[in-house]
């Protein structure tokens, strides 16, 4: 219950799914948590400091980072675009990269100077098993953005290792969350069968099930804690055996 004692943790997209599960676990492990989301209503019920932070807005990010002064930054905000390269529009590409990639440029740029000044920090970036680790159908923009997240992670890790900053990425397989249920529903409508849609998503994981958000939160907790002091610059894959065959 005290693995994160004394640490200040800022989380983006903490309103639901993996971000929320992580906020709850960080609180349980004794961190001072600043749980944020673009949709403030979703933050209700979290027993920590909560406020609206739009990861797509420079001023909102700067304000949130100044308020939290984080030792741990968990960049969880992200969006799944569905489609191939020929389905994608320029606007969708720009939006995908702004939310999934540039958001991390914004938050890390804002949080790093304080971390360096205080002598250390752990930055955790939400990537995906899908992208640079393994390809998946209809994930053109999404895969490109999540691969870019690994590039950001390695670059920051290398540049700031001597200042005590660690920067790692989390690469999950399919995780049950509100937006995942939306994706299953959309595929079900396309296929004319919700059962078939669910079966297709589950089949990607050789374990025969999708992950619970708490399983990803456990990895985010390890990466935030000093237990992970010897790891930096890596994509940490947690995908039910999807890419490990
Ligand atoms: P989700 O997609 O259900 O929820 C996303 C949250 O992001 C919402 O609370 C939403 O309000 C918030 N958000 C949207 N725009 C924002 C912005 N501009 N600023 C701040 N917050 C914003 O949650 P999830 O499925 O757990 O996904 C969380 C992260 O994990 C994403 O980066 C996603 O790509 C990644 N991920 C998810 C899965 C999965 O299968 N669910 C797998 C791999 C990676």
CA of 227 to the centre of ligand 1 (A): 26
Distance 17 CA to ligand 1 centre (A): 7
Which atom of ligand 1 is nearest the CA belonging to 180? 41
pLDDT at 184: 96
ipTM above 0.90, yes or no: yes
Residues within 6 Å of ligand 1 by CB: 12-13, 15-19, 37-39, 42, 54-56, 76-78, 80, 99, 126, 128, 172, 174-175, 177-180, 213
Query: For all residues of the chain together, what is the average pLDDT?
Result: 97
Q: Is 142 a catalytic residue?
A: yes
Contacts of 153 (CB under 8 A, 6+ apart): 123, 125, 127, 167, 168, 169, 233, 234, 235
Residue 176 has a CB neighbour count (10 Å cut-off) of 17
Average pLDDT over residues 214-238: 98
The residue annotated as part of the active site, out of 26, 105, 142, 160, is: 142
The pick from 10, 12, 15, 17 for probing ligand 1's pocket by mutation, whose C-beta has the most ligand atoms within 8 angstroms, reads 17
**Mean pLDDT computed over 44-65:** 98
Cα within 13 Å of Cα(59), Cβ side: 0
Q: What is the pLDDT of residues 141-189, one digit of tens each?
A: 999 999 999 999 999 999 999 999 999 999 999 999 999 999 999 999 9
pLDDT above 90 (res 245): no
Q: What is the pTM of this model?
A: 0.98
Q: Which helix (H) or strand (E) holds 146?
A: helix 140-160
Helix (H) and strand (E) counts in the chain: 8, 7
Residue whose CA lies nearest to ligand 1 atom number 5: 13
Is residue 22 classed exposed, middle or buried when 0-12, 13-18 and 19+ CB atoms within 10 A define those classes? buried
Distance 13 CA to ligand 1 centre (A): 6
Domains of the chain: 8-174+212-238 (3.40.50.720)
- Residue found under tokens 């939006």: 95
């Amino acid at each position: 219950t005290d693995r994160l004692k004394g640490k200040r943790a800022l989380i983006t997209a903490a309103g639901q799914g993996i971000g929320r599960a992580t906020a709850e676990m960080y609180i349980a492990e004794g961190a001072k948590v600043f749980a944020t989301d673009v949709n403030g209503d979703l933050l209700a019920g979290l027993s920590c400091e909560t406020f609206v932070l739009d990861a797509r807005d420079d001023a909102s990010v700067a304000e949130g980072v100044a308020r939290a002064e984080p030792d741990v930054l968990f960049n969880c905000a992200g969006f799944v675009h569905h489609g191939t390269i020929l389905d994608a529009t320029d606007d969708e590409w720009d939006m995908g990269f702004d939310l999934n990639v540039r958001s991390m440029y914004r938050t890390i740029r804002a949080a790093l100077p304080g971390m360096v000044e205080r002598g250390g920090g752990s930055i955790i970036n939400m990537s995906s098993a899908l992208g640079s680790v393994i390809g998946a159908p209809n994930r053109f923009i999404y895969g490109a953005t999540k691969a870019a997240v690994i590039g950001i992670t390695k670059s920051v890790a290398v540049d700031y290792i001597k200042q005590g900053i660690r920067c790692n990425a989390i690469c999950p397989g399919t995780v049950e969350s509100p937006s995942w249920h939306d994706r299953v529903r959309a595929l079900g409508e396309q296929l004319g069968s919700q059962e078939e849609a669910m079966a297709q998503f589950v089949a990607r994981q050789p374990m025969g099930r999708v992950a619970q958000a708490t399983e990803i939160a456990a990895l985010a907790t390890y990466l935030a804690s000093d237990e992970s002091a010897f790891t930096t610059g890596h994509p940490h894959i947690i995908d039910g055996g999807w890419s490990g065959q």
